[in-house]
Structure 1
Amino acid sequence: MSKLPHKWLVVVSVLFGTFTVILNNSMLNPILPRFIEIFESDAVAVGWILTIFMVSMGMTMPLTGYFGDRFGKKKVYLVGLCIFLAGSTLGFFSSTLGMVILSRAIQGMAGGLMMPIAMALIFNSFPRYERGLAVGVYGVAAMVAPAIGPTIGGFLIQYVDWPWLFAFNIPFGLTGLILSSKFLERTETDPTKRFDLVGFLIIATGIGSVLFALGRGRTLETLFDPLNIALIVGGLIAIVLFVFYENRQEDPLLNLSVFKVPTYSVSIVVTSAASIGLFSGIFLLPLLIQNVYGLNEVMTGLLFLPAAAASGVFMSIGGRILDKKGPKYVVPPGLTIMALATLGLSFLQLSTPYWLILLLNTVRGLGMGMGNMPATTSGMNSIPEHLVAQGSAMNNIIRQISSSLGIVFFSIYYEVRRAQVSANPDIDMQAATLQTLNEAFLVSAIVLIIAIPFSFILKGVQDDKEEQEA
């Protein structure tokens, strides 16, 4: 490893930590029904295992810009990784559902500190014209972990007790901690920087309320529950209030001026659409494989492995194209490929072979790799260097909300629409489920298609050079 250039050791270091955070979250998804049996609880209580992670992560992210400037990005990342290891250790020794939920809250706080800072550390180590490839390699954590997590979680639970799902994180986390301590570069600090407490309380309340409402609103009844509506409306009001408040501050918690940069704003739109596309597949494909075609969890897990590999490979290829040619040569083609493959999933029939579904999902992964991280990199490249940590935090927050919104939409659509279709006496439940999933994939494809024209607005380092020369 010592033969690698130092800047690539930075990528490897943060890759270990962030991969572990995301992998742990996706590993627990297929295990929730088992927790209902283990703790003799219900789906609502067990659902907190996922909801609390999402909420605490979203509420912590706005702090990363301030912490990074005040104490240094390396220190913040290391503290976040230590907190994650503490949460994993608590999860391993948990004996009650309450302790598991508490450990997940701690892990979420750690993820909120680590994810935005990881991107900022990479940007700090690479010049603009090399960041595409660097972020593409790092993006393996963000894109591949959600795809392989359910497979690993399902495999582990077959052979070991559930606490080992938390222990699985510890070796990777410790490795990331050792590498990060040794190879991450210290960044400048500003001891005089003021903490915007009022701004934090407003935005934490807004994000926490919205994410909590989306986390519990997986059915039509719970989504339109008076409490849920109050949380969403109150959260949105708080976010709007935060925007007005921050624009009046000399030293804001989050500098919202980055949204005046067209490339950054468009990159948020593109990555949000891609996230909805990604998580729609993660939610819908297991239902398709198990409820329509009657295959088991192993076949479901295998469906995601080639897609994860394709996503990882083409994320690096897309990053290299971004560095050499610019975003217009990689992001629009990536979104188009992903949209077409998703569209193909909307035409499935009961006679469709498994290998064709696997192929379409692999092509989706290919398109995701080319479209998502290059869009993020071009957006982050377009903002001032001193705002990278804050820009990364806002990117992660909006992606978290859009992913949650996508899962809620497709969950409710699946339940409501399947009930409507199956009410027809001429259609059995299997055919009704297939029709519903076909329609859901069509909606996902439309979201991606809508994002394609926006992706042509993205500008890269090459465009900046041409403008300067002109």
Structure 2
Amino acid sequence: MKTKEKEGYMDSQKLYEQRNQIIAAFLVAAFIGLFNETALNMAFAQLIVDFNTDASTIQWLTTGYLLTLGILVPLSGFLMQRFTTRHLFIVSLLFSIIGTGVSAISPTFAVLLTGRIIQAIGAAIILPLMMQVVLMIYPINQRGAAMGKIGLVIIFAPAIGPTIAGFVMEHFSWHYIFLMSLPFLFISFILGLKFVQNVSDVHPVKFDVLSIILSTIGFGGVVYGFSISGKLGTFISAEVMVAIGIGAIGIILFCLRQFKMDQPMLNLKVFSFPMYNIGLLMVILVHMTILATMVLLPIYLQNILLLAPMIAGLSLLPGGVINAFMAVASGHIFDRFGPRVMVPVGLLLEIVALFALRTIDANTSVYFIVVFHILMFIGISLASMPAQTNGLNQLPRHLYPDGTAFMNTLQQVAGAIGTAVSITIMSISTANFVKVNGTTDDNTFTGSIIGVQHALTFALVLAIIALVLSFFMKHVQEEK
């Protein structure tokens, strides 16, 4: 035990007493990382003016962030086996602090993009590491509540990002979006230095350069392909199809490479556990829905109902706030009753909300949006994190790093795909309506409404597929 204490490990009693403080450090850091994923979107119009550039260039501030996550999150499984929990936490916070600081004082677009990429490196490490720590320090019958807190962050942070950013842009400049994040990152860093200890053993996993290259090409290609499809407004583009095709080939070769290695960087044996697979698929579908609606509803509120950015952000705030409470509550419900009832019920609520939202038009009241947006997030809270926790619970302890790495990787990829596909559907639907009915302001306006309706229908289909999957879910109660 002396050797372990010297290396930064904590005895089980002390770990039990301090686990809330440990998780608090992770939650603050993860919240800021995910907040920054969407907050800057509200500043794009101002950034175009400040940097004298166009929208497609500014969009790289989001595309670059997502690309970095897509490339680096798959490596987290390797990192969590190769390096200690404490070291990884400190390194991730340093990247987050440096990236946020660089972004806050950026004099040019290139510097701001560099800062965003550095930020994303920190987020790519902290998210899977947080889940790994929860699985290690909480017994199986208490993980639901802990994962509920993570769910609060994963859904609430990107949801509230545009609201806070809208307020900042109303009174200050975009620099303050980053400046206000820095104190919270320093708080997280101090908490981590005091409380975060090593909770899992380190293994001499081989650093395989070919796996890194294939992973980068694979996940990076898919994220890039779908991201540019959203900007181009079409899937039928040589650039889109080549990027996605190369990405798919890279992922296939990466998987084949892992099967041949004695010590794979990511162990594909996680996919031999059926509840893990179902949980993973449901997380992918729900996250695609979340990111799609996060893009579509602000567009509808601002372009169709003609609300100011700050008012549009405030209209979506109640759903995010209620989700914060529901995410924690759903974790306790999961610990007591399991996922068999709550997950289907949550998905049914989400389906009802999306079915209503897909009917919105120019005469729809903003209160209608608020009510069904709240209902949708209540449903998501009941379904998403319980499905994810149940899936991870089926894995043996030595596969926790791999399981959390795949969950976080595919969640980020799904978010990029969900955003891009919804925007592309909206763009295609609008263009088709205008093409048939003529290019007038009224037709463009009506076409925009139809585009949003069709894109929300896509989100509805995803929710229905998730509901069907939920009926095959079984409650995992025994640790392996």
Scaled by the length of structure 1, what TM-score is found?
0.94
Q: Which residue is equivalent to 1:436?
A: 451
Q: Which residue is equivalent to 2:212?
A: 200
Q: Which residue is equivalent to 1:446?
A: 461
Map 1:73-222 → 2, pairs under 5 A: 73-190=85-202, 192-220=204-232
Instruction: Please give the per-residue CA displacement for 1:335-374, whole angstroms capped at 9, x wherever unaligned.
Output: 1111110111112243322212110001011111111111
Map 1:319-468 → 2, pairs under 5 A: 319-422=331-434, 423-424=436-437, 428-462=443-477, 464=478
Map 1:237-256 → 2, pairs under 5 A: 237-256=249-268
Structure 1: gaps of 5 or more residues: none
Instruction: Please give the per-residue CA displacement for 1:293-346, whole angstroms capped at 9, x wherever unaligned.
Output: 222212211122111112111111211121111111221111111111011111
Letter in 1 for 2:381: G
| 1:288 paired to 2:303 | no
Report deviation, 1:221: 5.9
| Higher deviation after alignment, 427-436 or 255-264 | 427-436
Whole-angstrom distance in 2 between the partners of 1:221 and 1:316: 38
Q: Is the 8 A contact 2:37 2:62 kept in 1?
A: yes
Instruction: Please give the per-residue CA displacement for 1:427-460, whole angstroms capped at 9, x wherever unaligned.
Output: 7433332233222222211210111121122233
Whole-angstrom distance in 2 between the partners of 1:219 and 1:416: 12
Q: Is the 8 A contact 1:313 1:369 kept in 2?
A: no
| 1:30 paired to 2:17 | no
Structure 1 residues 180, 456: CA separation in 2 closer, same or farther (over 3 Å shift)? farther
Structure 1 residues 347, 188: CA separation in 2 closer, same or farther (over 3 Å shift)? closer
Instruction: Please give the per-residue CA displacement for 1:178-207, whole angstroms capped at 9, x wherever unaligned.
Output: 112222231344353322222122111111
Give 3-state SS (helix, strand or coil) of 2:437's partner. coil
Report deviation, 1:18: 0.1
Give the fraction of aligned pairs with identical amino acids, expressed as a percent.
Answer: 26
| 1:47 paired to 2:59 | yes
| Higher deviation after alignment, 234-243 or 159-168 | 159-168
Q: Is the 8 A contact 2:430 2:451 kept in 1?
A: yes
Q: Is the 8 A contact 1:206 1:236 kept in 2?
A: yes
Q: Is the 8 A contact 1:310 1:363 kept in 2?
A: no
Report deviation, 1:420: 1.9
Give 3-state SS (helix, strand or coil) of 1:350's partner. coil
Whole-angstrom distance in 2 between the partners of 1:51 and 1:41: 16
Whole-angstrom distance in 1 between the partners of 2:393 and 2:452: 38
Whole-angstrom distance in 2 between the partners of 1:219 and 1:182: 44
Whole-angstrom distance in 1 between the partners of 2:53 and 2:313: 26
Residue correspondences, number: 463
Letter in 2 for 1:246: Q
Q: Which residue is equivalent to 1:263?
A: 275
Instruction: Please give the per-residue CA displacement for 1:127-172, whole angstroms capped at 9, x wherever unaligned.
Output: 0110011110122111001111001111112222222222122101
Report deviation, 1:261: 0.6
Structure 1 residues 293, 270: CA separation in 2 closer, same or farther (over 3 Å shift)? same
Report deviation, 1:400: 1.3
Q: Which residue is equivalent to 2:4?
A: none
Letter in 2 for 1:97: F
Q: Is the 8 A contact 2:137 2:199 kept in 1?
A: no
Report deviation, 1:223: 4.5
Give 3-state SS (helix, strand or coil) of 1:218's partner. helix
Give 3-state SS (helix, strand or coil) of 1:250's partner. coil
Give 3-state SS (helix, strand or coil) of 2:464's partner. helix
Report deviation, 1:419: 2.1
Give 3-state SS (helix, strand or coil) of 2:174's partner. coil
Q: Is the 8 A contact 1:135 1:377 kept in 2?
A: yes
| Higher deviation after alignment, 125-134 or 442-451 | 442-451
Letter in 2 for 1:380: L
Q: Which residue is equivalent to 1:57?
A: 69
| Higher deviation after alignment, 274-283 or 431-440 | 431-440
Give 3-state SS (helix, strand or coil) of 1:429's partner. helix
Structure 1 residues 280, 227: CA separation in 2 closer, same or farther (over 3 Å shift)? closer
Whole-angstrom distance in 1 between the partners of 2:160 and 2:134: 24
Q: Is the 8 A contact 1:131 1:377 kept in 2?
A: yes
Q: Is the 8 A contact 1:61 1:113 kept in 2?
A: yes
Whole-angstrom distance in 2 between the partners of 1:221 and 1:156: 30
Report deviation, 1:5: 4.5
Whole-angstrom distance in 1 between the partners of 2:217 and 2:330: 37
* RMSD (CA atoms): 2.0
Report deviation, 1:413: 1.2
Letter in 2 for 1:106: I
Q: Is the 8 A contact 1:314 1:366 kept in 2?
A: yes
Letter in 1 for 2:223: L
Report deviation, 1:17: 0.3
Q: Is the 8 A contact 1:57 1:112 kept in 2?
A: yes
Q: Is the 8 A contact 1:10 1:184 kept in 2?
A: yes
Letter in 1 for 2:322: A
